[in-house]
Structure 1
Amino acid sequence: MTEGNFVDYVKVHITSGNGGKGSAHLHREKYVAKGGPDGGDGGRGGHIIIKGNKNLWTLYHFKFKQHFKAGHGEHGSKNRSTGADGEDIYLEVPLGTVVKDTDTGETLFEITEDGEQKIVAKGGLGGRGNWHFKSPTNQTPRYAQPGIPGEEKNLLLEMKVLADVGLVGFPNAGKSTLLSVITSAKPKIADYEFTTLKPNLGIVEYRDFRSFVMADIPGIIEGAAEGKGLGHYFLRHIERNSVLLFLIPADSVDISKEYDILLNELKKYNPEMLDKERLVAISKSDMLDEELMEEMKEELDKDIDVPYLFISSVAQQGIQELKDKLWNILNE
């Protein structure tokens, strides 16, 4: 999914370099009639290497270039001179990027650390020169090995947002508003569904100069795991979060049912998501009076098996309590 400069998956075509040919040269020198074989080895072809870069947060730099070719190894030459290796090509990606082979469907690896390097296509080995093949019975071999061809692959680079807390909820549940209040992030906020078309990250400042990262994930709808709405594109971003904060508006017809639907979509996409710590926040609770809030608490105590609290982003109600709960869950 892309919006503006945010690109979280891209397909690329890569080709590593061919190995250089070995040389079949025979030594020639004044006053040396038969110098024997002295052909050098060919150089290695260039690798295609994926490298993690903590300063990148999107795959936008692959938007206008998707074909990458490493350099070929140079051929061997006389005096047993080995050809130069081909130039390696580095593809820098943000942390949390998963690399898949689109031809086989195999997930190759995942980049999670800054500076981490993985060779995704090895350059071909250089051929051996003829001096390797001399023997008492074959003192002047006039042949050498050719270089080995490089590899060619089609890859899918898929980024998963790295955050401590992920906001989960239906479209227009108030996730972007909460993120704008609790962090310094400035997400797009409007009164219509799917206002958010990309994950937004924000740093939540806590007591004593401590902080944690919160991500506003675009809204999930029923059937998202099957690809309805935009859910299919964004459910993967929730996989990286340590804590899932379910945001459900106080004016929902049935809060526990909404929670069950959201939980079911996560389960269908990846059952391991249910192992994450969960917290439910009832947003827009400034609309509720004390009596109505008590009635809702009685129902929620029966229907929801995880901690919950009432908040209002606009009225700044329960925000500090929410920070405290999230911090405690993250640092248990």
Structure 2
Amino acid sequence: MHRLYPFPFVLRTTSPHSRRIPAFTPIRNYTSQNELTPEDLEAVRRRRKTEWKRRQGGQNFLDHLIVNIRGGKGGNGCAAFHREKFKPFGPPSGGNGGRGGDVYFQPTPHLTSLATVPKRIRGHPGGNGQGTWQNGRAGEPLIIQVPLGTVVRELPRDDPRRAQDEWEAEEESLEGLTPAEKRAKMRDNRWVHYPRSGEDNVGRDTFKQAEAALYQQERERRLARKKRALQEPLQLDLDSVEIQEQPVDAPLGIRKPEQLGSLIASGGLGGLGNPFFLTPDNRSPKFATRGQEGERITLSLELKILADVGLVGMPNAGKSTLLRALTGGRVKSEIASYAFTTLNPIVGVIRVAEDGTFEGGIEQGLVHQETLIEKQLEHDMMTSGSYATAFTRNQKSKGGVDPLGAPFTSGHQFDLVETFRFTIADNPGLITRASENVGLGHSFLRSMERSLALAYVVDLSAPAPWDELMVLREELEKYQPGMSSKARLVIANKADLLGTDGGSVAVEEARAKLQRLETFVRTEMNVHPRAGPGFAGEEPVRCPLDVVAVSAKYSQNLQPAVSLMRTYIEQARNRLA
């Protein structure tokens, strides 16, 4: 019997900013908080963590973003004259302004979301020139780190989301002004005058000639920018980390090349000091130019997770548990009893040895080498052959031996020599009409586009796991035609009963359900042609799906699944090579 009971105390944590539990929390009928057991406290903690995660709503994961970027503004030139003792009228000595900083995108494997990328990016400005021929310092390059798999596209000029470039912004600021006011403001944006010389400079022929040349350069630069945006818009596929190595025969003292990434927006040029305008007709120019605005560009960033194998399944199918088991617990994916536990794709790395064992299971002792005993092998040959009974952990601790002759000992650590490596992604669950952006929608369908192979994960304990398969395939096809052709494996999870000796009604029902699932896959799921991305130009062929029953919770029968995944990846890599 439960009731609402005041629960005013604070959980004991190492942080001084502990949050209080809600004033009314459903707990057991206790007369004093001192009678609360550790199990009750743990239940409350889990309940609060569950509610907190539900309130997040995927805010920490972002896979699509519109970014406005400006290169750094160039520094202003200086209008100055050199002065020394006994030389009151020295030559012009104003320095040039420094160049504005460029903006780079650098892909990194340490990020898995675009949430850390700011929506407005501004490059560092260049320093202003000073007297005595001192040029301004160039702005530092700004490096924005983005996750691997980020696709960068420049928005077209007719897109309403595109921000104005530097010339369009100036035109908007001049609206409503008279022609004289427009001319004065445009000159103020481009020129620096020596003190008390502005009005005199405007009337000089040398200044008018320099002003006409400056406007001509701006027109040419603007036309070149438009032409590039129309013919060669910026499109980048940041799917690998660029490593620039210094030649071994490089001279000593040469700096190593900096890992900047891909250039996105160039900084503006620095302004010219007044010595630049020195001519035989103008021996004392009293004007200099301001620095140019940096390049402005609006980009659409789209994150597509790079993983060799993507797990596709309904909510609570056990994908997170499976990823934990395959990686030996190194990937801390969230596991809970409510739907949409996983709010963003999580990628794990699986290292495989020559004999087929993989690092996660061997090191952590969670995923064990599965074996075929004679009795179960005989039964599987008569039925499906998709599940192999495994030794339990207690049997292994007693000194069992697998068919390969490797003894199972408790706590034994194996030295794995890696011969193959691949990545596997735990994608959030799909639901009906996910292709129409229902539920978590396109955000997580997008993360599966680049996987070399897809693996359906279904709950074998569900009443009709074959219905889940049909929904998953239809949503993939609706989102992107041909995408379901990447599916190569069906993992029937939560097949715990199949690892027992059998004889009970529940075990026989589980085996019958598995056999029906295999029949359904063989007759209904293997009829579509292989026509997805990466298969262009090939003749349509049938793409059979393999079925493997596993128990991710108890780490049973994972070895065949890893072996099949390795085969699919090797085939896909050879095809794309």
Could you state the TM-score of these two structures normalised by the residue count of structure 2? 0.51
Taking every aligned residue pair, what percent have the same amino acid on both sides? 36
Q: What secondary structure does 1:297 align onto? A: helix
Residue 280 of structure 1 pairs with residue 501 of structure 2: no
CA 1:49–1:138: 2 relative to 1, 3 Å: same
- Residue 309 of structure 1 corresponds to 547
- Residue 97 of structure 1 corresponds to 150
1:250 to 447, 455, 460: 460
Measured on the aligned residues, the alpha-carbon RMSD in Å equals 3.3
Residue pairs, 1:59-70, within 5 angstroms: 59=114, 61=116, 68-70=121-123
Residue 164 of structure 1 pairs with residue 308 of structure 2: yes
Flag the structure with higher helix content: 2
- Residue 141 of structure 1 corresponds to 285
CA 1:23–1:150: 2 relative to 1, 3 Å: same
1:24 to 70, 79, 87: 79
- Residue 338 of structure 2 corresponds to 192
Q: Give, in angstroms, the shift of residue 294 of structure 1.
A: 3.5
CA 1:90–1:291: 2 relative to 1, 3 Å: closer
1:123-142 CA-to-partner distances (Å, cap 9, x unmatched) read 22111223223333334333
What is the one-letter code of the residue matched to 1:301?
Answer: R
1:129-177 CA-to-partner distances (Å, cap 9, x unmatched) read 2322333333433322221123556666554332221100111122122
Q: Give, in angstroms, the shift of residue 181 of structure 1.
A: 1.9
1:254-292 CA-to-partner distances (Å, cap 9, x unmatched) read 555533332232233333634635322222343655455
Q: What secondary structure does 2:445 align onto? A: helix
Flag the structure with higher strand content: 1
- Residue 446 of structure 2 corresponds to 236
CA 1:149–1:116: 2 relative to 1, 3 Å: closer
Q: Give, in angstroms, the shift of residue 43 of structure 1.
A: 0.8
Distance in 2, matches of 1:262 and 1:161, equals 19
Unaligned runs of 5+ in 2: 1-55, 156-160, 164-232, 242-258, 354-416, 499-506, 527-543, 572-577
CA 1:315–1:29: 2 relative to 1, 3 Å: closer
Distance in 2, matches of 1:17 and 1:53, equals 23
CA contact (8 A) 2:548 2:560 kept: no
CA contact (8 A) 2:150 2:301 kept: yes
- Residue 558 of structure 2 corresponds to 319
Distance in 1, matches of 2:138 and 2:492, equals 61
Point out the more displaced range, 301-310 or 218-227. Answer: 301-310
CA contact (8 A) 1:282 1:308 kept: no
Distance in 1, matches of 2:467 and 2:492, equals 13
CA contact (8 A) 1:219 1:231 kept: no
- Residue 204 of structure 1 corresponds to 350
Distance in 2, matches of 1:116 and 1:90, equals 6
Residue pairs, 1:51-130, within 5 angstroms: 51-59=106-114, 61=116, 68-99=121-152, 103-104=161-162, 108-114=235-241, 115=259, 117-130=261-274
Unaligned runs of 5+ in 1: none
Q: Give, in angstroms, the shift of residue 18 of structure 1.
A: 1.6
Q: Give, in angstroms, the shift of residue 227 of structure 1.
A: 1.2
Distance in 2, matches of 1:216 and 1:4, equals 18
What is the one-letter code of the residue matched to 1:104?
Answer: R
Using CA pairs below 8 Å that are at least 6 residues apart, which structure has the higher relative contact order? Answer: 1
1:54-110 CA-to-partner distances (Å, cap 9, x unmatched) read 333445655xx7655433222223344321112332222232234456733987534
CA 1:263–1:295: 2 relative to 1, 3 Å: closer
Distance in 2, matches of 1:107 and 1:282, equals 44
Distance in 1, matches of 2:234 and 2:333, equals 32
Q: Give, in angstroms, the shift of residue 230 of structure 1.
A: 1.0
Considering only CA atoms, is the larger Rg found in Structure 1 or Structure 2?
2
What is the one-letter code of the residue matched to 1:331?
Answer: E
Q: What secondary structure does 2:287 align onto? A: coil
Q: Give, in angstroms, the shift of residue 197 of structure 1.
A: 1.8
- Residue 263 of structure 1 corresponds to 473
What is the one-letter code of the residue matched to 2:521?
Answer: L
Distance in 1, matches of 2:91 and 2:64, equals 56
Q: What secondary structure does 1:206 align onto? A: strand
Distance in 1, matches of 2:234 and 2:467, equals 35
